[in-house]
Structures are given as C-alpha cells and as structure tokens.
C-alpha cells in the first residue's frame, strides 16, 4: 500500500469508475465508491456512498477521512450550459473545497482531451500548450484544471489532471488511433496516480501507447505510467473505414465536438 490508503471515487458507477474500483481496491484499506446512485460494494474494504456533487454538505461528508480523491463524476459529454455549469463546474469546485477542508492530500481529476480540442491534428501538445476547449463540456474541464492549479498553489493540495482520450474496449475508427485508452491501461494509470512521489500540479494524458498520438506525455512518465496497449494493433482491422469527417471535424483534435454548432471561420484557428 501507498500513503494514500483511504480512497474516494466519484462517478464509481460509470464505465471508467468500474475500472477504477477494480484497479484500486488492492492498494488501499478503505475504498469509498460514490455516485449519484448507490454502488454495490464488491470487496470487504469498499463502502458505498451516494451523493449529488451539487450538494456541498453531502460532498463534505463523502470526503471525511479520505487521503486521495479520484474525481470522475459529472456530465460525460456536451450538454446545456446550465447542466454543465451546475454539475461539472460547481460540482468540481465543491470537490476541491471539501478536499481542502478535510485535509485530503491529493486529487486526481478526470479532465479530457476536449480541453485541448481546437488544437490542429498536426500539432503535438503536452503540458505547456494553452488549453483550447471545443465545447461547453471542454470548458468545464479547463475550469477543473484551473481550480486544481489554484488549490495546488494556494493550499498545497496536490493535483493530477488526467486528460482522458477515448476510453473504449478497442478503437472503432481511425481517429481513435491517436487517442485511444484501453480499460487495462486506465487501470494502470489509476494505480500510477498513487505514487508516493511529491507532486504539485501535473497534467497527464490518459491514452494508451499509441504510435499516432497527438500528445507529449511527460507528465505520465513523471508518475510512472507505462501503458501496455497500442491502438496501432487494431489499425489493420479498421481498413479504410473512417468517420466520414467533415472539414472542421477532420482538422482538429476534438473531432465532432469542434464541428458541433460551429459557425466560425476555420482559417482563423491557427
């Protein structure tokens, strides 16, 4: 076990949350799995705690006695501004404030590739390039990274911001060859976030070992993340099948999140 012996997962009922539960329970003495619905405990050291991220008092209660939070709860795709604001933005603020007040040591925040979606596909991005959200959802992930940076600087609350690519059992189109994240590598990534190394604020790309990756993942190397799966292994199976992408969708890393509602000038986006 590491020094992070008591773990809280938000969004534990989701697809990634299920992987987190399985990967993390051998490494802790307490696993508190939470979602807006009840989560059936699968192991002796697991607790279920249902709460709404918008409820500050309940968020405080969920955080009691916790060493590290894996914040994967929230709206997982584009939605109305009001929904994104209330759950992904206000809810993430509640997580960080409750973590601070409860003396939590580290937050692992589920950011997204959509925080960088309007970077062009020929550009390799790492930790230092500016965020370029492609949607209201992407904006909420930029906010989450910003509040994490604030709490790291002002309160010493360590943060690992995971810019998750596309989490699927296998790639299903050619765009995924650049940003696929396998279930097994998601488990490896989650365990890597338990590193005892002193951290401040780290950006890590949640992708597998993809030959065509758009990312410089030096943050992943710092926490010891070593992905074992590779999207290229599935490239031949995809053949010539592609997304039938339009001009905007094909130009940017965020794909359909960029083209949705787009009425700007593609030539103005460098």
Please calculate the CA angle 146-148-152 and round it to the nearest 5 degrees. 120
Structure-token pair, residue 230: 């590779």
Confidence of residue 43 (pLDDT cuts 50, 70, 90): confident
pLDDT over 80 (residue 1): no
pLDDT over 70 (residue 242): no
Domain that holds residue 127: 6-268
Give the separation between CA 248 and CA 269, rounded to whole angstroms.
10
- Average confidence score pLDDT of the chain: 96
Give the separation between CA 58 and CA 41, rounded to whole angstroms.
19
Strands 68-71 and 6-10: parallel
Strands 166-167 and 158-164: unpaired
Q: Which of 68-72, 118-122, 242-246 has the lowest mean pLDDT?
A: 242-246
Give the separation between CA 87 and CA 82, rounded to whole angstroms.
9
pLDDT over 70 (residue 215): yes
- Taking the CA of residue 172 as centre, how many other CA atoms within 13 Å lie in the half-sphere pointing to its CB? 4
3-state secondary structure of 100: helix
Task: State the pLDDT at residue 136.
Answer: 98
Structure-token pair, residue 262: 């787009």
Task: State the pLDDT at residue 239.
Answer: 67
Confidence of residue 218 (pLDDT cuts 50, 70, 90): very high
Give the separation between CA 60 and CA 206, rounded to whole angstroms.
28
pLDDT over 80 (residue 201): yes
What total number of domains does the chain contain?
1
How many Cβ atoms sit within 10 Å of the Cβ of residue 262?
16
| Catalytic residue, candidates 70, 93, 96, 137 | 137
pLDDT over 80 (residue 244): no
Give the separation between CA 162 and CA 193, rounded to whole angstroms.
10
Confidence of residue 237 (pLDDT cuts 50, 70, 90): confident
Mean predicted confidence (pLDDT) in 73-78: 97
Task: State the pLDDT at residue 238.
Answer: 81
Q: What is the pLDDT of residues 158-190, one digit of tens each?
A: 999 999 999 999 999 889 999 999 999 999 999
Residue 85 maps to a domain? yes
Q: What is the pLDDT of residues 19-34, one digit of tens each?
A: 999 999 999 999 999 9
Q: What is the CATH number of the domain that holds 55?
A: 3.40.50.720
Residue 1 maps to a domain? no
Mean predicted confidence (pLDDT) in 205-218: 98
Residue 19 maps to a domain? yes
- Taking the CA of residue 75 as centre, how many other CA atoms within 13 Å lie in the half-sphere pointing to its CB? 23
Residue 247 maps to a domain? yes
> What percent of the chain has a predicted confidence (pLDDT) above 70?
98
Task: State the pLDDT at residue 101.
Answer: 98
What angle do the packed helices 15-24 and 183-192 form, to 10 degrees?
50
Confidence of residue 240 (pLDDT cuts 50, 70, 90): low
3-state secondary structure of 33: strand
Confidence of residue 2 (pLDDT cuts 50, 70, 90): confident
Residue 137 a catalytic site member:
yes
């Amino acid at each position: 076990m590491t020094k992070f012996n008591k773990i809280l997962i938000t969004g534990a009922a989701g697809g990634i949350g299920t992987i987190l539960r399985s990967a993390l329970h051998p490494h802790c003495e307490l696993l508190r799995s939470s979602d807006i619905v009840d989560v059936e405990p699968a192991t002796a050291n697991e607790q279920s705690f249902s709460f709404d991220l918008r409820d500050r008092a309940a968020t405080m209660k969920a955080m009691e006695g916790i060493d590290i939070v894996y914040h994967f709860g929230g709206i997982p795709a584009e939605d109305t501004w009001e929904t994104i604001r209330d759950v992904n933005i206000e809810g993430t603020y509640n997580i960080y404030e409750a973590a601070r007040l409860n003396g939590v040591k580290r937050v692992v925040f589920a950011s997204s590739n959509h925080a960088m979606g309007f970077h062009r596909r020929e550009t390799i991005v790492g930790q230092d390039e500016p965020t370029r959200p492609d949607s209201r959802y992407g904006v909420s992930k930029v906010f989450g990274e910003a509040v994490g940076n604030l709490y790291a600087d002002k309160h010493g609350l360590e943060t690992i911001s995971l810019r998750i690519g596309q989490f699927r059992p296998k790639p299903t189109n050619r765009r995924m060859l650049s940003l696929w994240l396998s279930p097994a590598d998601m488990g490896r990534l989650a365990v890597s976030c338990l590193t005892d190394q002193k951290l401040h604020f780290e950006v890590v790309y949640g992708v597998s070992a993809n030959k065509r990756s758009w990312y410089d993942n030096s943050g992943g190397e710092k926490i010891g993340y070593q992905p074992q799966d590779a999207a290229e292994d599935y490239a031949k199976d995809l053949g010539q099948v592609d997304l039938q992408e339009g001009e905007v969708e094909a130009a940017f890393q965020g794909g359909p999140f960029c083209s949705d509602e787009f009425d700007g000038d593609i030539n103005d986006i460098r």
